[in-house]
Amino acid sequence: MRILSVVGARPNFMKIAPVVAELRLVPEIQHCLVHSGQHYDQQLSGSFFDELGIPKADVNLQVGSGTHAAQTAEVMKRLEPVLLDFKPDLVLVVGDVNSTLATAITASKMNIRLAHIEAGLRSFDNSMPEEINRKVTDTLSDFLFVTEDSGIRNLRAEGVPEERMFLVGNVMIDTLLHHRELARRSPVLEKLRLRSGSAVSPYAVLTLHRPSNVDHLETLEGLLSAIHQIAKQIPVLFPVHPRTMTRIQDMGLANYFESDPQSTTGLKSLDPLGYLDFLCLTDHAKLVLTDSGGIQEETTVLNVPCLTLRENTERPATVDQGTNQIVGTDPKRILEVARQALHAGTPLPRRPPLWDGKAAKRIVKIIVQQNHLSVSEGERLPAVSAAKN
């Protein structure tokens, strides 16, 4: 059996890593890994292959940046000859980026079966490009691998047949749990002068990248002003996405960063971090503020309070069963909830069902069962059937 997987952006690498490892255990599967090149910066792309033990991509489409339409079209154009050459029996896509959508459309038009890892997530906000990508990909997919109960409910409401849905857990958490101990040995805390011996100074972490937050002066300045106030109480470390830094500089908002490297408080900008360094930083944080979907999931498992700087989330399990709070972009609300979270301390640990580090095993088990293949080694899981929840 020939399987082709496509990755394109930072979260995709973390999600595909455990699946690739499990596919290697099936001798009857020939696997091809395609990197679309949607993220082409070394810090946001290449380092993840090294750190997560993913083999170098068999094919790099080298698409690069562009508008949503241009990027999607370019992936489709460059992927089609790869599919014609490799002739896969199944194409795997992960997440909700433009590469995911482009791959789904291309594979479907070529009558190749499609599997979507992280299916069924919905923000119910069509102004988010990711929401369109999710809906179209799920509509076209033959196998829908779902991370949480809400995904099953959403797909049922959209009329997806039961036999196509599988509640398998979260491959992002597979990667986190597998690498957590290694990440704890990262020297990043020492480099940032946050750890001396076994003692770690308290700090918060911020990430911002969504266009709705960083492309509008009023919104971005409001967010930075609120974080600036929080940073008077606790230092806030901000690994800045290159695109976000460009917006901050163009809008003249760099004054919100602490300029004194000796200061023990303030909003401190950092260069983008590799996966292990960022996981270490998040794992030891007192608070995380983010507009990222994946970080909502990671902080839930790490048991770190998380404030999501959006009006909605496609990952409600992180709120219902985790440490996440949706606070929007109003500066007063952000400041109020952040102070409450810092005062409350560490929350009681809660974790959604099947977020146990075995999601990739379940996914490959289903592929094996559906195609009458056999697994040569590794841990066997009980037979997996379509979602029952």
List 158's β-bridge partners, or say none: none
Half-sphere exposure of 36 (CA within 13 A, CB side): 31
Tokens 């038009």 identify what position? Answer: 109
Cβ pair 7, 35 in contact under 8 A: yes
Distance CA 109, CA 280 (A): 42
Distance CA 283, CA 264 (A): 20
CA angle at 131 for the pair 147 and 167, rounded to the nearest 5°: 15
How much is the CA Rg of the chain, to the nearest whole Å? 21
Q: Give residue 65's pLDDT.
A: 81
Q: In the numeric block, which tokens belong to residue 125?
A: 């906000």
Q: Which amino acid is at 259?
A: S
Query: Counting Cβ atoms within 10 Å, is residue 126 exposed (0-12), middle (13-18) or buried (19+)?
Result: exposed
- Cα distances (angstroms) measured from residue 25 to each of 67, 110, 175, 207, 220: 38, 28, 17, 36, 47
Q: Give residue 46's pLDDT.
A: 54
Q: Enumerate domains of the chain plus CATH numbers.
A: 2-170+354-370 (3.40.50.2000), 182-344 (3.40.50.2000)
Query: Counting Cβ atoms within 10 Å, is residue 156 exposed (0-12), middle (13-18) or buried (19+)?
Result: middle
Which positions of the chain have pLDDT values less than 50? Answer: 44, 375-386, 388-389
Closest CA to 297 of 121, 56, 88, 101: 121
Cβ pair 101, 94 in contact under 8 A: no
* pTM summary value: 0.91
Q: Give residue 378's pLDDT.
A: 40
The DSSP secondary-structure symbol of 257 reads B
Tokens 């489409």 identify what position? Answer: 61
Within 10 Å of residue 347's Cβ, how many Cβ atoms?
A: 14
Q: Give residue 12's pLDDT.
A: 87
Distance CA 106, CA 114 (A): 10
The DSSP secondary-structure symbol of 125 reads -
How many Å is the maximal CA-CA distance in the chain?
62
Q: Give residue 292's pLDDT.
A: 94
Cβ pair 300, 352 in contact under 8 A: yes
Cβ pair 38, 72 in contact under 8 A: no
Alpha helices, DSSP H only, in the chain? 10-23, 46-51, 68-86, 98-109, 129-140, 149-157, 171-184, 188-191, 211-214, 217-230, 242-250, 275-283, 293-302, 317-320, 331-344, 359-370
- Cα distances (angstroms) measured from residue 373 to each of 1, 29, 86, 363, 365: 9, 8, 20, 13, 9
Residues with catalytic function:
209
For the stretch 310-353, pLDDT in tens is: 999 999 999 999 999 999 999 999 999 999 999 997 888 889 99
Q: Give residue 281's pLDDT.
A: 98
